[in-house]
Amino acid sequence: MNLYTYFLNNTGRQIIKYAHYFPIYERYFSQYINRPLTFLEIGTGHGGSSQMWKYYFGPMARIVSIDIRPECKSYEEEQINVRIGSQSDRQFLQSLLDEFGPPDIVLDDGSHHNSDINVSFDYLYPRMAPHGVYLAEDLNGSYWPQLGGGLRSENSFINRCKGFVDEMHAKSTAYGDEIVPETHITNTTSAIHFYDSVVVLEKTPYINKTMLMIPENTKT
């Protein structure tokens, strides 16, 4: 049973997701099935998504779900750890790292307010496992003023991610008219993917950008 089929046939706790998210999940998360994994879910909701991730990743996965609502603590079960706190509280985020170690995957489905998304990303992304996936969803809110966004707002997470594309290419800007400073994005991000309401960043500890010519000596 694939993830979308599980979702459609769910009889456990409620799950609320856009249907077009599921192929995105499968594309980036399938490599972690039946492997040791720490999965950090920002936003517990009704608890059903944590159960879905437990099913999907298998018995070696550790699911950590956070929410500001104390009643979410009751959604804990085997493999599912629920912690109560705000995604914009850096001390709380650090306590998660202290308890569970660096996450392999972060899925931000929390408050959807751009200020909260930014704090969580800025704190967690540099502290993730060296090979990891950071997925933020429901980013249609990046365009909504009531969520701290706007089409060209500097606080919009979508807008920031557009800038991350330039940071990823910072070394190349040395040959241009305007130099982009190198950041942790430059040296640890192999890809940034944009979908409707979703951004996925793939993290890697080393990116081999060496150009090779093989065979080296070829006569034309």
Q: What angle do CA 16, 2, 64 make, to 5 degrees?
A: 55
Residue 141's pLDDT band, with cuts at 50, 70 and 90, is: very high
Mean pLDDT of the chain: 95
CA 29 – CA 18 distance, rounded (Å):
17
CA 45 – CA 28 distance, rounded (Å):
22
Q: Looking at the domain assignment, is residue 211 inside a domain?
A: no
Burial class from Cβ neighbours inside 10 Å (0-12, 13-18, 19+) for residue 170 reads middle
pLDDT score of 96: 99
CATH number of the domain to which 162 belongs: 3.40.50.150
Give yes or no for a contact between 81 and 65, defined as CB atoms under 8 angstroms apart.
yes
pTM above 0.85, yes or no: yes
pLDDT score of 177: 83
pLDDT score of 175: 81
Tens-digit pLDDT profile for residues 146-193: 999 999 999 999 999 999 999 999 988 888 788 999 999 999 999 999
**Closest Cα to residue 45, out of 79, 82, 92, 7?**
82
**H-helix or E-strand spanning residue 51:** helix 48-57
Tens-digit pLDDT profile for residues 202-217: 999 877 777 888 887 7
β-partners of residue 202 are 133, 191
The full length of the chain comes to 220
Q: Looking at the domain assignment, is residue 213 inside a domain?
A: no
Q: Is the pLDDT of residue 66 over 80?
A: yes
Mean pLDDT of 65-93: 99
**H-helix or E-strand spanning residue 163:** helix 157-168
**H-helix or E-strand spanning residue 188:** helix 184-188
Q: Looking at the domain assignment, is residue 208 inside a domain?
A: no
Q: Is the pLDDT of residue 72 over 70?
A: yes
Q: Looking at the domain assignment, is residue 22 inside a domain?
A: yes
Q: Is the pLDDT of residue 50 over 80?
A: yes
Query: How many domains does the chain divide into?
Result: 1
Q: Looking at the domain assignment, is residue 166 inside a domain?
A: yes
Q: Looking at the domain assignment, is residue 26 inside a domain?
A: yes
CA 146 – CA 111 distance, rounded (Å):
12
Give yes or no for a contact between 147 and 114, defined as CB atoms under 8 angstroms apart.
yes
Q: Looking at the domain assignment, is residue 189 inside a domain?
A: yes
pLDDT score of 219: 64
pLDDT score of 100: 99
Q: Is the pLDDT of residue 220 over 70?
A: no
Provide the residue range defining the domain that includes 53. Answer: 3-203
Share of the chain above pLDDT 70, in %: 98
Token pair in block for residue 84: 């109560």
Give yes or no for a contact between 142 and 152, defined as CB atoms under 8 angstroms apart.
no
Q: Looking at the domain assignment, is residue 217 inside a domain?
A: no
Give yes or no for a contact between 12 and 48, defined as CB atoms under 8 angstroms apart.
yes
The pair phi, psi for residue 72, each rounded to 5°, is -65, -20
In Å, how far are 55, 136, 203, 220 from 139, measured between CA atoms?
Answer: 26, 7, 20, 51
What contacts 215, CB < 8 A, 6 or more positions away? none
